[in-house]
Structure 1
Amino acid sequence: MTKISKDTFTFLEELIANNNRDWFNTHKLRYEQAKQNALDFTEELLVGLKKIDPSIPEDLQAKKCVLRIYRDVRFSKNKAPYKSNIGISISSDGRGGTLPGYYIHIEPGKSFIAGGYWMPEAHHLKSIRQEIDYNTSDFLDIIEAKAFKAYFGGLSTEDQLKNAPKYYPKDHPYIHILKLKSFICSRSFTDEEMAGENMINTVLEGMKLIYPLNKFIKEAILQ
Structure 2
Amino acid sequence: MISKAELDFLSELAQNNNREWFAENKKRFEKHQEIIKKFFQEINTEFAPQDSIEKMQVHRIYRDVRFSKDKTPYKSNFSVSFDRTKPHLRGGYYLHIQPGASFVGGGFWEPNAPDLKRIRKEFELDDSEIRAIISDKRFIETFGTLQGSELKTAPKDFDKEHPAIDLIRKKQYIVYRRFTDAEVTDKNFKAEILKTFSAMRPFFDYMSDVLGTNLNGEPIY
Q: TM-score, structure 2 length as denominator?
A: 0.89
* Partner in structure 2 of residue 191 of structure 1: 181
In the alignment, the residues of structure 1 paired with residue 136 and residue 111 of structure 2 have an alpha-carbon distance, to the nearest angstrom, of 24
* Partner in structure 1 of residue 217 of structure 2: none
The answer on 1:220 being equivalent to 2:210 is yes
In the alignment, the residues of structure 2 paired with residue 135 and residue 56 of structure 1 have an alpha-carbon distance, to the nearest angstrom, of 29
Q: For 1:115, what is the secondary structure of its paired residue? A: strand
CA root-mean-square deviation: 1.8
What stretches of structure 2 of length at least 5 have no aligned partner? 214-221
In the alignment, the residues of structure 2 paired with residue 82 and residue 47 of structure 1 have an alpha-carbon distance, to the nearest angstrom, of 28
* Partner in structure 2 of residue 113 of structure 1: 104
In the alignment, the residues of structure 2 paired with residue 135 and residue 5 of structure 1 have an alpha-carbon distance, to the nearest angstrom, of 46
62, 84, 87: which one pairs with 2:79?
Answer: 87
> Pairwise mapping of residues 8-157 of structure 1 onto structure 2 (< 5 A)?
8-53=6-51, 55-57=52-54, 60=55, 64-93=56-85, 99-156=90-147
Q: For 1:184, what is the secondary structure of its paired residue? A: strand
Q: How big is each residue's C-alpha offset from its partner over 1:10-44, in whole Å with a ceiling of 9 and x where there is no partner?
A: 11000000001111111111111221122111111
| Deviation of 1:220 (Å) | 2.5
The answer on 1:161 being equivalent to 2:182 is no
Retained in 1: the 8 A contact 2:124–2:162? no
Instruction: Flag the 1:211–1:192 CA change in 2: closer, same or farther, 3 A.
Output: same
Q: For 1:51, what is the secondary structure of its paired residue? A: coil
| Deviation of 1:134 (Å) | 3.2
Retained in 2: the 8 A contact 1:91–1:100? yes
In the alignment, the residues of structure 1 paired with residue 29 and residue 212 of structure 2 have an alpha-carbon distance, to the nearest angstrom, of 39
Q: How big is each residue's C-alpha offset from its partner over 1:52-103, in whole Å with a ceiling of 9 and x where there is no partner?
A: 22x314xx5xxx4210110011111111000111111111259xxx952011
Aligned length, in residue pairs: 211
Which stretch shows the higher mean deviation, 17-26 or 120-129? 120-129
Larger Rg: 2
Q: How big is each residue's C-alpha offset from its partner over 1:96-142, in whole Å with a ceiling of 9 and x where there is no partner?
A: xx952011111111111111111212111111112233342221221
Q: For 1:161, what is the secondary structure of its paired residue? A: coil
Retained in 2: the 8 A contact 1:52–1:211? no
Q: For 2:80, what is the secondary structure of its paired residue? A: strand
Instruction: Flag the 1:71–1:108 CA change in 2: closer, same or farther, 3 A.
Output: same
What stretches of structure 1 of length at least 5 have no aligned partner? none
Q: Percent identity?
A: 40
In the alignment, the residues of structure 1 paired with residue 197 and residue 12 of structure 2 have an alpha-carbon distance, to the nearest angstrom, of 30
Retained in 1: the 8 A contact 2:123–2:164? no
